[in-house]
Structure 1
Amino acid sequence: FRTQTLDSPAAKAAYGLEKEENGVLIIKVFEDSPADGILQENDVILKIDEFDIADDGTIQLTEDLLTDYKHAIDMHHIGESIDITYSRGGVEKTVDMKAKIPMANHSLVRGEQFDKAPEYYIYGGVLFVPLNMNLIKRWGNDWGRSAPVSLLQARNEWASPDRRELVVALQVLAADVNLGYHDWRNWVVEFVNDEPIRDFAHFADMLQSNAEENIVFENSNGYQMVINHQEALDSEQAVLSQYRIPSAYSTGLINRAD
């Protein structure tokens, strides 16, 4: 789960806390997590085991040491019980949860990766990549200001089993097959032929298995890029040769999609 601090007296009152009560507000419970089905959004976590949580999200670990409340969870071994005291609508409850192996990154934007080659797929001369922090940091040390807003905003979106990562049309390798789209770049694609994209492997599989005349790429605002499927296949080798690219997709991608 994810939380935010409760420094505001108005917010504390809105979620049923008394003035002297402290805690953190749950803003997201992730599917398939230990908290799924037990805790809910808008619950207020008051205590982890014997540690009371302050409004700023800290606990008094020792007489001289304040630390983030999540440390009280991290101190447990896998399978051990964690007592969580929370308030729901002003009613205080305590539940027992089991510590589990931490889940993967919950953001739609992958963290930086340095131990593998970048993934990509070129279709109709359009270079598609999964959105990750490696890509965002291409905009330099000031990437928080200089990277495209649509890519930065995605960092605040949560992943789910049906939507694990985003796909970006990074740039268009100009060719007849993509005429009309030569200046499109850094464009987040959400749908392929009206089907939501689950992750990059799913995206590659949709392109590989397509039986429609056209492939329509669409973003969340409804803007579309239409590529004729047969023209994309027929022009693939010419595009790769012109831009000196050895393969239409990264090594291992198609096997991963299968």
Structure 2
Amino acid sequence: MGSFVRIARNLLWSSFCSQSLSKNVSQQLFTSSASVFKSYKFRYGRTPVRKHREANATHTTAVELAFNSVVKIFTVSCSPNYLLPWQNKSQRETMGSGFVILGRKILTNAHVVADHSFVLVRKHGCPTKYRAEVKAVGHECDLAILVIENKEFWDGMNPLELGDVPFLQEAVAVVGYPQGGDNISVTKGVVSRVEPTQYVHGASQLMAIQIDAAINPGNSGGPAIMGSKVAGVAFQNLSGAENIGYIIPVPVIEHFISGVEENGKYIGFCSLGLSCQTTENVHLRNHFSMLPDMTGVLVSKINPLSDAYKVLKKDDIILSFDGVPIANDGTVPFRNRERITFDHLVSMKKTNEKALVRILRDGQEQELSIILQPIQPLVPVHQFDKLPSYYIFAGLVFIPLTQPYLHEYGEDWYNTSPRRLCERALRELPKKANQQLVILSQVLMDDINAGYERLAELQVLKVNETEIDNLEHLRQLVESCNTEFLRLDLEDDRVIVLNYGTAKIATSRILKRHRIPSSMSVDLLDTE
């Protein structure tokens, strides 16, 4: 066994040091000897000199750049209470990191400044905290841009330059202000994976880089530096695992920044609005007349609000996107022998940009053009930086269903929240623009509504026999009622009937009893 280790070690060492070996041969030697080298590294406690020097160089460069670029961010935030939408939760203070980019701007994570009421920034080696304003926030991609008007802050501050997506095993240094101390911190790691990943904050699926350096609370928003350029922004770690962190790659960062510059605000990432199925099963491919050399994915569901709804049909096979062939597992080529889901190509397109899609329909190939836009789901995934909507009449509290409302049921909200509401939130598609799924969230008890308290958490379908589109539409129908009785039709064929005149009088009494300042949220007041 010892001789085998020595042989593998010598081969691996040659792959690093011999100038006569090609890069491909070196890569093959490195891959084939990886498990042996792991044992060697554990036994001898050292790594090849060349790799060690490169890591040290990255570490030194990162430290030098960080001193005049990376800042600590102090945020005071106040999140809304979705169970009592007229109230806020307790104020809390959080800390994060950020760094200076071109244009005298600071780039950080959206979750660092989410629901902010006050933001301060402190640069390295300076005791003064400067007031910052949030210029743009992209909760979907977990990025935000801050601006500071005080010219004194910018003395000696240098912007960091964005680089490229690092290759596997390239060394990066994560710079920030993680928990455990107040001063700047630099940790080293290597890139272990590049692929679309679930962004926890915005619940979106975008490209991310996995590294073996820990991303701790406070690191969020800090740069991951490779050489002298930024390879990404630290933003989350893998729950339950050690030393697995994720950084937002440069393509996502550049898409966010360019979108803000072109539109003056964050617009979002494009989507085809499709639900697709892989075609890895040979019988499925034969059923849809796919030739042996054809690959693609099967269209299962199309969002009615997307442009694809006018162009594509259920059971179409998408063969390629912008000329890039899609494999049967839904992936496309990415760099050297890597693959990535074709959703990445879609998300990198600009708003209102056209995409060419080659499809197979009824055994015939067609090339179609689709206009791409960000598409909002029927039930919003997040509601940061805005107050929740509500309308109260006769003690009945109406709200549009959102996932943050379901999150109030706890971390295990998928299992503890009302099952029907949860299923609709995750699967139901809108049928028209500005549509909301309105529910009766609770009943503030009073003589006027006695006996209706068990009808909470049901969807409201009609007001006086008229189907409702959204919460504002419900309010208009209620307040324009010109009959003696007001009738509300709920799901499960449940009905609420109130004497309209008596109910209007009762509303003000109930609001006063519960110390609720208004019968409706600010956004509904603005529409009156």
With structure 2 as the length reference, what TM-score do the two structures score?
Answer: 0.45
The answer on 1:4 being equivalent to 2:265 is no
Question: Conserved in 1, the CA contact under 8 Å of 2:289 and 2:363?
Answer: yes
Question: Conserved in 2, the CA contact under 8 Å of 1:110 and 1:165?
Answer: no
Aligned to 1:146: 416
Matches within 5 A, 1:239-258: 239-256=510-527, 258=528
2: CA distance between counterparts of 1:130 and 1:210? 21
420, 433, 454: which one aligns with 1:183: 454
The structure having more radius of gyration, on CA atoms, is 2
- Decide whether aligned partners of structure 1 residues 19 and 221 sit closer, same or farther in structure 2, where only a CA change above 3 A counts: farther
Q: Which amino acid aligns with 2:466?
A: E
Q: Which amino acid aligns with 1:164?
A: Q
Offset of 1:48 from its aligned partner? 0.6
Q: Which amino acid aligns with 2:391?
A: Y
2: CA distance between counterparts of 1:79 and 1:180? 51
Aligned to 1:41: 314
208, 219, 224: which one aligns with 2:490: 219
Identity score, percent: 27
Q: Which amino acid aligns with 2:387?
A: A
2: CA distance between counterparts of 1:241 and 1:212? 26
- Decide whether aligned partners of structure 1 residues 195 and 244 sit closer, same or farther in structure 2, where only a CA change above 3 A counts: same
| Cα root mean square deviation, aligned | 2.1
- Decide whether aligned partners of structure 1 residues 80 and 109 sit closer, same or farther in structure 2, where only a CA change above 3 A counts: closer
Question: Conserved in 1, the CA contact under 8 Å of 2:472 and 2:524?
Answer: yes
Offset of 1:177 from its aligned partner? 1.0
Structure with the bigger RCO (C-alpha within 8 Å, sep 6+) is 1
SS in 1 for 2:422: helix
- Decide whether aligned partners of structure 1 residues 149 and 20 sit closer, same or farther in structure 2, where only a CA change above 3 A counts: farther
Matches within 5 A, 1:192-211: 192-211=463-482
Aligned to 1:130: 400
Question: Conserved in 1, the CA contact under 8 Å of 2:276 and 2:301?
Answer: no
Aligned to 2:73: none
Question: Conserved in 2, the CA contact under 8 Å of 1:51 and 1:59?
Answer: yes
Aligned to 1:238: 509
Range that drifts further, 116-125 or 181-190: 181-190
2: CA distance between counterparts of 1:9 and 1:167? 43
2: CA distance between counterparts of 1:15 and 1:193? 47
Offset of 1:240 from its aligned partner? 0.9
- Decide whether aligned partners of structure 1 residues 242 and 79 sit closer, same or farther in structure 2, where only a CA change above 3 A counts: closer
- Decide whether aligned partners of structure 1 residues 55 and 190 sit closer, same or farther in structure 2, where only a CA change above 3 A counts: farther
Q: Which runs of 5+ in 1 are unaligned?
A: none
340, 343, 362: which one aligns with 1:67: 340
The answer on 1:229 being equivalent to 2:500 is yes
2: CA distance between counterparts of 1:184 and 1:213? 22
2: CA distance between counterparts of 1:37 and 1:70? 20
Q: Which runs of 5+ in 2 are unaligned?
A: 1-272
1: CA distance between counterparts of 2:305 and 2:454? 41
Question: Conserved in 1, the CA contact under 8 Å of 2:305 and 2:431?
Answer: no
2: CA distance between counterparts of 1:10 and 1:225? 52
Range that drifts further, 65-74 or 111-120: 65-74
Runs of 4+ that moved beyond 4 A = none
1: CA distance between counterparts of 2:307 and 2:472? 27
Aligned to 2:379: 109
Aligned to 1:29: 302
2: CA distance between counterparts of 1:150 and 1:93? 39
SS in 2 for 1:37: helix
Count residues in correspondence: 254
Aligned to 1:16: 289
